[in-house]
């Protein structure tokens, strides 16, 4: 897809400084820019690339003042980083074709599909499902009976959604993620064996949620596992039964939350964070990579490191003493 600098400015509500007819057809990092490509500049530490870039068009913040001559045509926007995200989203929408459904899928007669729903090959949609308008369901997706999916969702190939799940509007489920499998519930028996605890609850996902590839969100044995509005979950994460993940919380890859824990709003869980069961994490908590949480975090807005988790400053002091003791 090809755009001129002027067209980009119109889409992004920006202004052009240079040749408005300069054309671009692909994207690149600012340090790799070539003719015909669009780059963006938002981080001051990359400013030196602005003056050496060979890209045709460069997105910059409206208040950027060059300190040397600039070769690319500039498109000035309020926030270059946000503008790039908006542009990528715009291009993705242009590329995604709509088809009602293909012949090689199985849709129950009682399922209700909204307007302009795309259904790919080898999709199964169970009885009494409800799919909202303009949702796209790609190949090899399974949607269990009684599931409700909102409008403008994207369900990528290989996603499995178990019966009775509730998914809001504008949700993105990436390839291979599983919504509503049984949680890990087993009761020990007198003879040392385990008895499976059946899970008859569901998963409720709010609006504007994105869940990465091969992530699993388990359904509850009773009631619901809840992912609130605006949550972002990376690839290869585990959300156990009866967990609540608060609004706008973000979780990086390989993180896991054990059963019945409650994560507050606007929290950040870095890679490989582990949270044990039945704990509560306060709003706006940041957990650094590989942090292990075994108890409640009550104070909001704090940063924690280590396993078991310690406040940032406490962890650094303890680590300094530990390191020094090892050198003696």
Convert the pLDDT of each residue in 135-184 to its tens digit: 999 999 999 999 999 999 999 999 999 999 999 999 999 999 999 999 99
Quick: pLDDT tens for 40-94: 998 889 999 999 999 999 999 999 999 999 999 999 999 998 998 888 877 776 6
Domains of the chain, start order: 3-95 (3.40.1390.10), 106-316 (2.160.10.10)
What's the CA gap between 73 and 23, in Å, rounded? 10
The overall average pLDDT reported for the chain is 92
Mean pLDDT of all residues in 271-298: 97
Task: State the catalytic residue, choosing from 101, 241, 278, 312.
Answer: 241
The residues that bridge with 204 in the sheet, in sequence order, are 166, 226
Tokens describing residue 188: 């020990």
What 3-state DSSP class applies to 248? coil
Quick: pLDDT tens for 300-317: 999 999 999 999 889 888
Residue 230 near residue 248 (C-beta atoms within 8 A): yes
Per the annotation, the verdict on 241 as an active-site residue is: yes
Assess whether the previous peptide bond of 298 is cis (omega < 30° from 0). Answer: no
pLDDT-derived band at 98 (thresholds 50, 70, 90) equals very low
Tokens describing residue 94: 């242009």
What's the CA gap between 256 and 14, in Å, rounded? 41
Using only the alpha carbons of the chain, give its radius of gyration: 24
């Amino acid at each position: 897809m090809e755009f001129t600098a002027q067209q980009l400015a119109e889409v992004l509500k920006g202004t052009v400084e240079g040749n408005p007819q300069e054309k671009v057809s692909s994207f690149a990092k600012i340090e790799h820019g070539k003719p015909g490509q669009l780059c963006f500049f938002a981080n001051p530490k990359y400013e030196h690339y602005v003056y050496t870039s060979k890209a045709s068009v460069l997105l910059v913040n409206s208040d950027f003042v060059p300190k040397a001559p600039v070769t690319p045509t500039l498109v000035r926007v309020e926030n270059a980083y946000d503008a790039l995200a908006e542009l990528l989203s715009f291009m993705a929408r242009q590329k995604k074709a709509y088809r009602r459904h293909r012949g090689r899928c199985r849709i129950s007669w009682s399922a209700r599909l909204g307007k302009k729903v795309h259904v790919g090959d080898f999709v199964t949609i169970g009885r009494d499902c409800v799919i909202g308008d303009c949702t796209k369901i790609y190949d090899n997706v399974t949607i269990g009976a009684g599931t409700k999916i909102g409008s403008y969702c994207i369900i990528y190939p290989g996603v499995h959604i178990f019966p009775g799940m509730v998914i809001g509007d504008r949700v993105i489920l990436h390839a291979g993620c599983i919504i509503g499998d049984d949680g890990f519930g087993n009761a020990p028996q007198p003879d040392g064996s385990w008895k499976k605890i059946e899970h008859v609850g569901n998963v409720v996902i709010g609006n504007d949620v994105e869940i990465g590839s091969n992530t699993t969100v388990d359904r509850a044995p009773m009631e619901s596992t809840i992912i609130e509005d605006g949550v972002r979950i990376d690839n290869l994460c585990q959300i156990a039964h009866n967990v609540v993940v608060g609004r706008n919380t973000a979780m990086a890859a390989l993180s896991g939350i054990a059963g019945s824990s409650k994560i507050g709003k606007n929290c950040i869980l870095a890679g490989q964070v582990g949270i044990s069961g039945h704990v509560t994490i306060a709003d706006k908590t940041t957990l650094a990579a590989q942090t292990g949480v075994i108890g409640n975090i009550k104070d909001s807005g704090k940063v924690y490191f280590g396993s078991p988790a310690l406040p940032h400053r406490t962890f650094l002091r303890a680590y300094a003493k530990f390191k020094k003791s090892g050198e003696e």
